[in-house]
Chain A
Amino acid sequence: SQQGEEDPQALSIQEGENATMNCSYKTSINNLQWYRQNSGRGLVHLILIRSNEREKHSGRLRVTLDTSKKSSSLLITASRAADTASYFCATDNYGQNFVFGPGTRLSVLP
């Protein structure tokens, strides 16, 4: 069963703007990961944040994790048309399985 919930489900922005996606989950986790999926393709790992971390950066990506609120956010700065994709958060249940949220479909308009 899914435990992650992302919002918004769809987001449309102009190139150069920032995009923020949120993810909430229900149970305790070992880590939370964000993935990207282009239409009809497999998933690409973006960033992993462990339960004892609060913020992580990778290039134009910034991820936060609030374990007290069981939520995470993914910020993409200075978005590009090539960032258009679906973004999923996935919670790692101590290695037993990964549960994906419903995803956010991001459209970056040129």
Chain B
Amino acid sequence: GAVVSQHPSWVICKSGTSVKIECRSLDFQATTMFWYRQFPKQSLMLMATSNEGSKATYEQGVEKDKFLINHASLTLSTLTVTSAHPEDSSFYICSARDHLGVVDTGELFFGEGSRLTVL
């Protein structure tokens, strides 16, 4: 299957700093990537949909200025948590769809996730 690489796998930062998480599709082009947040023993909550070359679409309740998303190329989307605080500590997961030309398999491929701990 297609591979999505997410980096870093885990990061610890001080309160007030910004953290950037990268999501790369390694062997396919992803015009759309999704960013999720997951709290322990809970499901994935969609934060935003990242579209290559355009602004991300944020879900209700997600602060755009807090969680900056950039999708500058067909293989890379980044999530920057700005001025991080302890309540931002969470597991962040990206996913991408493999658009095979005009045929979309529909399957989502996930990165391994990034665990953010804000002290």
> For the complex, what is the distance from the CA of A91 to the CA of B45, rounded to whole Å?
13
Convert B6-30 into 0s and 1s, putting 1 for each residue whose CB lies closer than 8 angstroms to a CB of A. Answer: 1000000000000000000000000
Q: Which of B42, B46, B109, B110 contacts A99 (CB 8 A)?
A: B46
Chain B contact surface mostly: strand
Interface segment among B63-71, B73-81, B82-90, B111-119: the answer is B111-119
Chain A residues with CB under 8 Å of chain B are: 1-2, 30-31, 33, 35, 40-45, 48, 50, 88, 90, 92, 95-103, 105
Q: A45-B107, A88-B43 are in contact. List 19 more A-B contacts (CB 8 A).
A: A31-B106, A35-B108, A35-B110, A41-B112, A42-B6, A42-B112, A43-B93, A43-B110, A50-B106, A88-B44, A90-B108, A98-B46, A98-B108, A100-B36, A100-B44, A100-B46, A101-B43, A102-B43, A103-B43
15 interchain pairs, CB-CB under 8 A: A40-B113, A41-B112, A43-B44, A43-B93, A43-B110, A45-B1, A45-B110, A88-B44, A90-B108, A95-B104, A98-B46, A100-B36, A100-B43, A101-B43, A103-B42
